[in-house]
Amino acid sequence: MEDTDTTNTAATSPSNVTQPSSPTPQTRSNIVQDKLVVYFKNAGGAAALKQKKFKLQSNLSFQNVTEKLRTQLKLKSNESLFLFVNQVFQPSPDETLGELFKCFSHNDQLIINYSDLPAWG
Amino acid sequence: MTSFQEFKNQALSLINGWNEWCWVTHRQRVDEDGYLVLKLYKNKANCILTSTTSSSIRNDDNQIEDNDIDMSIVDSSVNSNNNNNNNSVDQDTDIHIYEYHVIFSRSYQVPVLYLNVYKKDSTVLSWSDIWNTLPLSKYDSSSHNIVPYFSQVEHPILGIPFYQLHPCETPNLMKQILSVSKEEHDDEDNNNNNDTIENLQQYFLSSWLSIVSPLVGINIPLHFLKYMSNK
C-alpha cells in the first residue's frame, strides 16, 4: 500500500521544464489520508456488527483497534475480546495497523476475526 | 495437538521463524523429551533489553549460559539514575531475567507455559514482584471474571519450582480458535481461503503462543506471524 510516484522524472531534465510533482489521483485513492479498510468478522459466539467494515488510520496500534471494536460491540470491561489476523494469530498490541495491513491484507482490506473465547483455566 | 512429536515439529518450526527461542533436551531422560525456552532480559521499566539469540537445538544438560549474552548492550541502556558513568556490570542489579518454558503436557495434550524470573545473581523473584510486572495483573484489577491463572508447581523436567499458566482451558480455547475456518468457508467474501480445519492444526502452537504472549510480557514479533502465515 505504498504511495508510488508515477511521474516520469528523467535524470537529465532541463531546469526550465516543470515536472508535475504530485502523484496521479489513481495511486492515492486507496490510501487517502492513510486510512485502511478493516473488515471485522465475528467468530465463535461473538456478536455480529451491523457495520462490519471500517476505515481506520494506519498509524493506530492494534491495542487501539481492539478498543474501538470493544466500543462498537458495547462490551463491559469484564467481558473479554480477542482479535486475530489470518484467523488464528493474535498480533502484539503494539503493532501498527499499517504494518499488519501490509502483511495480512487481501483485496485491499484487512480481515480481523474477533471472538469472546469465554474461559480460561 | 495430538502428540509430543507434533508439538516438537511445531516447536522446531517456531524456532525457525522466531529464533530467540531455543529447544532444550536433557540427556539423562530415557524417553524422548524436550521443550522450548525463551530468556528475556528486562530492566526496571520492563523494557526488553536483549534476549538470547541462539537458534540451535541444544542437547546439553544446562540451558543457555548467561555468559553468552553481550552485557555491553545492557550497560548502555541501563543508566537512568546513575550519575557515575562507569561501564561496570554493577549497574545490572536492576535487570531481571525472564525465563519462559513451553512444555508439552501429555495429560492435557497441549503446550503449557512456565515462567520464572531471576535477578542477575540467580535468586528467584517472589510472586508478588513478578505479578506486578506481568500485563496479566492489569486484567485482574479491571474485574475480568475470567482470567488465566498462575500457580507454582514443580517443573516437569527440571524438578524445580516454576510458575505455570493453567492449561485446563487451553484445549477448549484452541478448539474455538482453530474452528474459525468453518465459518470462513461459508462466507462469499472469502473465495481465496482454502484452509480446512485440519490445516489449521499446524498453527496450534503459534496461535496459542500469540494469545498467551501479551499476557506474560512476551512481545510476539510480526515477522514471526508473517513467517507462519506463509507456510
User: How far is it, in rounded angstroms, from Cα B33 to Cα B153?
Assistant: 19
Sequential DSSP letters for A20-57 = P-S--HHHHGGGGGGEEEEEEEE-TTPPPPSS-EEEEE
Kindly state whether B167 is in contact with chain A, defined as any CB-CB distance less than 8 angstroms. yes
Integer angstrom CA distances of residue B74 from A105, B91, B220: 37, 9, 21
pLDDT of residue A33: 59
pLDDT grade for A17, boundaries at 50, 70 and 90: low
A72 assigned to some structural domain: yes
- CA gyration radius for chain B? 19
Kindly state whether B46 is in contact with chain A, defined as any CB-CB distance less than 8 angstroms. no
B20-57: per-residue pLDDT in tens?
999 998 876 666 789 999 999 888 776 776 665 443 44
A90–B210 C-beta distance less than 8 A: yes
Stretch (H or E) spanning A88:
none
Sort out which chain B residues have CB atoms less than 8 A from A103's CB and list them. 222, 225-226, 229
A71 assigned to some structural domain: yes
Smallest CA–CA distance, residue B116 to chain A, in Å, is 19
- Of A105 and B46, the structure prediction assigns the larger pLDDT to A105
Contacts of A101 (CB under 8 A, 6+ apart): A1, A36, A58, A110
Checking B3-12 for CB contacts under 8 A at 24+ apart, the result is B3/B109, B4/B32, B4/B33, B4/B104, B4/B106, B6/B204, B7/B104, B7/B111, B7/B205, B8/B34, B8/B104, B10/B202, B10/B204, B10/B205, B10/B206, B11/B35, B11/B36, B11/B102, B11/B205, B12/B57
Average pLDDT over residues B190-203: 62
CA nearest to B182, candidates A53, A51, A44, A106: A44
Q: Which residue in this structure is represented by grid cell 474501538?
A: A68
User: How far is it, in rounded angstroms, from Cα A87 to Cα B91?
Assistant: 44
Q: Which of residues 49-78 of B touch A (CB under 8 A)?
A: none
B65-90: per-residue pLDDT in tens?
433 443 333 333 333 334 444 444 44
Reading the block at residue B141, the C-alpha cell is 484489577
Smallest CA–CA distance, residue A57 to chain B, in Å, is 19
User: What's the pTM?
Assistant: 0.75
A86 assigned to some structural domain: yes
A63, with CB counted inside 10 A (0-12, 13-18, 19+), is: middle
Look at residue B228 and tell me whether its pLDDT is greater than 50. Answer: yes
Across the interface, of B148, B189, B222, the residue whose CB is closest to A95 is: B222
Sort out which chain A residues have CB atoms less than 8 A from B203's CB and list them. 88-89
Look at residue A59 and tell me whether its pLDDT is greater than 60. Answer: yes
Q: Which residue in chain B is spatially nearest to A82 when comparing CA positions?
A: B211
Q: Which domain holds residue A61?
A: 33-115
Domain count, chain A: 1
Average pLDDT over residues A90-118: 90
B117-136: per-residue pLDDT in tens?
999 888 988 888 888 888 77
Residues of B with catalytic roles: 168
Look at residue B189 and tell me whether its pLDDT is greater than 90. Answer: no
Sort out which chain B residues have CB atoms less than 8 A from A77's CB and list them. 142-144
A88–B178 C-beta distance less than 8 A: yes
A80 assigned to some structural domain: yes
CATH code at position A105:
3.10.20.90
Neighbours of B101 (CB within 10 A): 23
Look at residue B231 and tell me whether its pLDDT is greater than 80. Answer: no
A97 assigned to some structural domain: yes
Look at residue A16 and tell me whether its pLDDT is greater than 60. Answer: no
A63 assigned to some structural domain: yes
pLDDT grade for A103, boundaries at 50, 70 and 90: very high
CA nearest to A113, candidates B230, B229, B178: B178
Smallest CA–CA distance, residue B224 to chain A, in Å, is 10
Contacts of B65 (CB under 8 A, 6+ apart): none
A76 assigned to some structural domain: yes
A102 assigned to some structural domain: yes
Sort out which chain B residues have CB atoms less than 8 A from A106's CB and list them. 192
- Of A84 and A14, the structure prediction assigns the larger pLDDT to A84
